[in-house]
Amino acid sequence: MEDEIKIAGLVEESIVDGPGIRFVIFTQGCPHNCYGCHNPQTHDMSLGKCEKIDKIVEKIDSNPLLKGITLSGGEPFLQSKKLVNLISKINNKNLDVVTYTGFTYEELIEKASEDNGYLELLKNTDYLVDGRFEIDKKDENLLFRGSSNQRIIDVKKSLLNNKVIICDF
């Protein structure tokens, strides 16, 4: 259904998935199969549950304490167009968007098409945490990331300058 997103779960207030208090949507389905993944239950697209986009937006709009929303997973880019639709419906336009992905920024740009909506979701993302989780590069001291190959990218600046610009929170 077009008005629903397949989710693994929601966390209505988190302080570990980006700066400030954030509403986190854990999307269902991930093709990356990173060794040591902390959320293996999110991989199978036939699991999880369908949630109405409007219902999620209502929850986001009802919390004045939020600094932003975080799209995590799973692999959010599998449902890019639906997530863009969700973002467009949020009334508070001051909320920033952090998106986690197992793809690299360069892969998303290279694979972007009208069909998959990758570019649209990138344009609606402020900060992208990119790349697969690599257990040999795991570092628990990293801010908002699991392994040191992953980057926090300022997407708006990167798209504007046509190169990856790392974000410094």
- Of 37, 108, 122, 153, the residue at the interface with ligand SF4 (CB under 6 A) is 37
8 phi and psi angles, rounded to 5 deg: -90, -30
Smallest separation (angstroms) from ligand SF4 to the CB of 65: 27
- Of 6, 22, 82, 132, the residue at the interface with ligand SF4 (CB under 6 A) is 132
| Residue (117 or 146) nearer to ligand SF4, CB | 146
| Residue (68 or 74) nearer to ligand SF4, CB | 74
30 binds ligand SF4 (CB under 6 A): yes
Smallest separation (angstroms) from ligand SF4 to the CB of 147: 9
| DSSP secondary structure of 63-103 | -TT--EEEEESS-GGGGHHHHHHHHHH-S-TT-EEEEE-SS
145 binds ligand SF4 (CB under 6 A): no
Q: Give the C-alpha separation, 30 to 45, whole Å.
A: 7
From residue 63, alpha-carbon distances to 11, 14, 22, 116 in Å are 12, 12, 10, 31
Q: Which two tokens stand for residue 10?
A: 């929601």
Q: Which two tokens stand for residue 3?
A: 């008005």
| Residue (66 or 75) nearer to ligand SF4, CB | 75
Q: What is the binding site for ligand SF4 (CB under 6 A)?
A: 30, 32-34, 37, 39, 42, 73-75, 102, 132-133
